[in-house]
Amino acid sequence: MTTPIVEMRGIEKFYGRIHALRGVNLQVNRGEIVGLLGDNGAGKSTLIKVLSGAVPYTSGQILINGKEVALTSTNDAIDAGVETIYQDSALVPQLSIARNLFLGRELTRGPLGRLDQGEMNRVATDLLRRVGITKNIPPTTPISSLSGGERQAVAIARAMYFDSEIIILDEPTNNLGVAETQGVLNFVRDARDKGHACIFIAHNIHHVFQVVDRMVVMRRGEVAADDLSPKTSSIQDVENIITGEHLAA
């Protein structure tokens, strides 16, 4: 049996008196796209914030590639190979697209380590095309003049370029147009085919069905189902599990 790339065991999280995660177990394998679904307040964001080091958990264990890790900051998570793309991913509005893509990890050249602006612009142009921005936006354009969807595409292009082993996308298709949405879904498939693991959270269940290999449903801080396949379950079946309707039947 192969070791899962991510294994969360018995994760508990209290925010004061609110019991947000109740013994959550989650496994994600290499080359797998897992869709994380659940109603508002089910615990999805908390679970991925725990895995991205943004929120401390109360108890439980996290293993990456079979080794237990302590994720006490987002830098710990990035070092462990976890890159998270949030709906409102932090970009610097005054800086250009290319500078935002390489923020903190700029390309340099020559013995003096001068910024290689030409190469950064070239890579940025190629990435923008790959995430579905087909209209001609120069990489020198400041982020402040882009639409919400275009900004999202820039954040995705950044994770794509840095090639993280585990990519978490929290509502990545929110506010995106049709071409941009297809760009994101293609990116997720590409990443999976190259052996990355992806966790995909989206309220649009149709987008989830188009791209995931397996669905995990959370309800009230617990995993209600973790082996749903878009090939064998219908959207209605999954919606019933999300709302708990199947229990009433």
Least distance (Å) between residue 181 CB and ligand ATP: 19
Least distance (Å) between residue 207 CB and ligand ATP: 15
Q: Which stretch binds ligand ATP (CB under 6 A): 38-46, 152-160, 178-186, 229-237?
A: 38-46
| 43: contact with ligand ATP by CB under 6 A | yes
| 121: contact with ligand ATP by CB under 6 A | no
Buried b or exposed e, range 17-43, using 16+ CB within 10 angstroms:
eeebbbebebbbebbbbbbbbbbeebb
Residue 122 or 220 having the CB closest to ligand ATP: 220
| 169: contact with ligand ATP by CB under 6 A | no
Q: Which residues contact 101 (CB under 8 A, 6 or more apart)?
A: 120, 123, 124, 127, 139, 154, 157, 158, 161
| 45: contact with ligand ATP by CB under 6 A | yes
Least distance (Å) between residue 15 CB and ligand ATP: 3
What is the binding site for ligand ATP (CB under 6 A)? 15, 18, 20, 38, 40-46
